[in-house]
Amino acid sequence: MFVCVLVTRPHSHALPAAKAAFQRALHAWYRGQHRRLPWRETPSLYRTVVSEFMLQQTQVKTVLPYFERWVRELPDFAALAAASGTRVLKLWEGLGYYSRARHLHRLARVIAALPAPPRSTEAWRKLPGVGPYTAAAITSLAFGAPAACVDGNVVRVLARLTADGTTFRDSAAAARHFTPLAAVLLQRDDPGPHNQAMMELGALVCRRHHPRCPACPVRRFCAAARRGNPEDYPRFASKKIRRRAVLRAWCEHEGRLLLHRAAAGARRLAGLHELPTPIDLGLNEAVVRATPLLTRKQRGLTNHRITESIHAMVLTAAQRHRLAANPALHWVPLAELDRLTLSGPHRRWIEELLITRNR
């Protein structure tokens, strides 16, 4: 009889009507199947905040070594607040989306200056780098606030449970759309574990591709599973891929490599070092393009696909003298490259080129 109600009633009403049974099935699965993660094993407000910032747009397996190193070197808000921006970026190097590190640093300074951390979701929303999802995650996990977390995993779970055919412009629009349903399903007297269970279900079972439907603890509630097309949900409008080509110069002189440091106010790579472009060197692109090509690499930034061609250049004494006046350009001894913070792709590419050269 109960299953009949789920099948015949409209999707928008069936799931909330079965909330208690849905919660029991989800939570029983989570208690037995959840991953043992360091921020869960030894939880604290600080560890929750750091993990939530790191996990934005980044997979757990990528975050784990960064998290362990971070909390070992900066164990609390006070230590992070006192750290230099250079040290913070260095610890974050390779994790990408560096604005997260800068926001986290600013947040720590705000928290360290308060008599006590705020406890409400609304108060956290006012802090640097904290959006709706992050505020809900932090306050529900650390303080038991009855706030529903809706990240990409939860969007996927809810879209499939309801077979919602809405086409969303982006993930933020999808999260807003599903937040009311997530709030209805939330176990308000124990919101932290419930939120983690929903996100864990999306990460481990209700995966983007090849979902593990036979292993799903809430399959009997899922409209998309009954239809046999879970991978059709959620639906997003296709994004136009923009392609760009970038020239880079590899300039070595007396055991040093020339690097360009992005300005502190740069939108994406503030304070990070990369190989210089012709514009950085004050040269025409044709001059760089005429030099030997060392390698051609690709990187992705949001909807941009960038091809970077790295050319070997030998600068004249006059050119080196002229470039010395540019504070953004630095001749870095090869033995000291590890001390600097480079963007993840350029760190890998430089290391590859040095290895190839030394063979």
* Enclosing domain of residue 101: 2-236
Query: Residues with catalytic annotation?
Result: 52
Query: Do 187 and 48 fall into the same domain?
Result: yes
Structure tokens at 1: 């009889």
Q: Quick: pLDDT tens for 221-257.
A: 999 999 999 999 999 998 888 999 999 999 999 999 9
Contacts of 318 (CB under 8 A, 6+ apart): none
Residue 237 contacts by C-beta under 8 Å, 6 or more apart in sequence? 167, 168, 169, 170
Measured CA to CA, the distance from residue 312 to residue 301 in angstroms comes to: 25
User: What CATH number did the domain enclosing 329 receive?
Assistant: 3.90.79.10
228 and 132 in a common domain: yes
CB 11 within 8 A of CB 178: no
- Alpha-carbon distances of 152 from 159, 162, 204, rounded to whole Å: 10, 16, 13
Q: Are residues 218 and 89 in the same domain?
A: yes
Residue 200 and residue 149 in one domain: yes
Structure confidence at residue 13 (pLDDT): 54
The last residue of one of the domains, among 215, 236, 257, is: 236
Residue 304 is predicted with a pLDDT of: 82
Query: Based on the domain organization, do 150 and 117 belong to the same domain?
Result: yes
Q: pTM to 2 decimals?
A: 0.82
Q: Are residues 85 and 141 in the same domain?
A: yes
Confidence of residue 125 (pLDDT cuts 50, 70, 90): very high
139, pLDDT greater than 70? yes
Q: What are phi and psi of 320, to 5 degrees?
A: -60, -40
Q: Are residues 134 and 251 in the same domain?
A: no
CA distance 219 to 213: 7
Same domain, 30 and 160: yes
Calculate mean pLDDT across residues 19-45: 95
Which residue, 195, 217, 236, sits at the end of a domain?
Answer: 236
Residues 163 and 256 in one domain: no
- Shared domain for 176 and 263, answered yes or no, is no
Average pLDDT, the chain: 92
Last residue of a domain, one of 219, 236, 253: 236
SS3 of residue 245 by DSSP = strand
**Residues 68 and 132 grouped into a single domain:** yes
pLDDT score recorded for residue 49: 97
Residues 123 and 202 in one domain: yes
- Measure Cα distances from 95 to 73, 235, 269 in Å: 16, 28, 12
Total domains in the chain come to: 2
The domain spanning residue 217 has which CATH number? 1.10.340.30
